Amino acid sequence: MRYKITLRKTEEGYSVSVPGLPGCWSQGATEEEAIQQISEAIKEYIAVASELADDSQMREIEVAV
């Protein structure tokens, strides 16, 4: 899957979040580290969301934008 991220330069390095996944954010000393960290955060976010939706049917749909 592909997700759009927002990357911001800060005094400590880089802050990164995923607008499509509320509350999914991370940081890193470098841009590369921040992107690596958000990749892991996305995986963890999806895993937790799947656990919470255990009683529900999960489906994927494609939306043209």
Q: What is the pTM of this model?
A: 0.80
Q: Within a domain: residue 63?
A: no
Q: Within a domain: residue 35?
A: yes
Count CB-CB contacts under 10 A for residue 31: 13
**Which residue segment(s) compose the domain that 37 sits in?**
6-52
pLDDT at 60 over 80: yes
Percent of the chain with pLDDT over 90: 77
Q: Within a domain: residue 18?
A: yes
Which letter does DSSP use for residue 25 in this model? Answer: E
Q: Hey, what's the torsion of the CAs at 32, 12, 25, 37, to 10 degrees?
A: 30
Q: Within a domain: residue 58?
A: no
State the total domains in the chain: 1
